[in-house]
Structure 1
Amino acid sequence: MVNGILKKKTKYCILGVLGIYLTGTLINQQIIMKRQKNNLDGYTVESKKLKEENIKLQDEIELSKTDKYIEKLAREKLGLIKDGETPVIDESVNKK
């Protein structure tokens, strides 16, 4: 009789410990999955920003191949003018 009660208590004790272990494992996995999802969301946002920046840079590259863009740079950076144009000097630019 005492032996049967002891077996039941041992059985319930082992089941209890196993239940606690499984519960802890499941909770830990949920925490890890949540952390991984947050990381993935962050990488997705970063990837989207980089793709947009890449598209913008590709557009700039295409624009830089045009004669109009080259002319604009020559006028702004080098101060070049076309024949017959009168140069205008902006003093506010030089004061910066």
Structure 2
Amino acid sequence: MRAIKKQLTLKRLIIVFIFAIFVVNYIKQEITIRRIQEDIVNSQEELQELKDKNGELESDLKKATESNEYLEKLARERLGMIKDGEKVVNSQEQN
């Protein structure tokens, strides 16, 4: 009788162990799936930001090809260029 109880107990332990392995693997898969979903969301947000930036750059390019005024503005702002006869005035805020 004891041998039968030991066999049943051993079988139960094996079943519980196998079940525990399945549960652990399931949890690992869920964690991996959630991480991948977060990566997808982050990548989609980054893609949208890049699309917006690309739209702005295309708009700037269109303005630049249509108007010399825009090119003058960029040259003044980014390169610090001035026209002949103009004087540079630096304003500094005092505390």
TM-score range, shorter chain: 0.7 to 0.9
Find 1:71's aligned residue among 69, 72, 94.
69
Aligned-partner Cα distance in 2 for 1:4–1:72: 92
Q: How far has the Cα of 1:36 moved from its partner? A: 1.3
Q: Which amino acid aligns with 1:71?
A: E
Q: Which amino acid aligns with 2:52?
A: E
Q: How far has the Cα of 1:60 moved from its partner? A: 1.3
Structure 1 residues 79, 72: closer, same or farther in 2, change over 3 A? farther
Corresponding residue for 1:47?
47
State how 1:1-96 maps to structure 2 within 5 Å: 1-66=1-66, 69-74=67-72, 77-79=81-83, 94-96=89-91
Q: How far has the Cα of 1:24 moved from its partner? A: 0.9
Q: Name structure 2 gaps, 5 residues minimum.
A: none
Displaced runs of 4 or more, over 2 A? 71-80
Q: Name structure 1 gaps, 5 residues minimum.
A: 81-86
TM-score, scaled relative to structure 1? 0.73
Q: How far has the Cα of 1:78 moved from its partner? A: 4.4
Q: How many residues align?
A: 85
- Aligned-residue CA RMSD (Å): 2.3
TM-score, scaled relative to structure 2? 0.73
Aligned-partner Cα distance in 2 for 1:64–1:33: 46
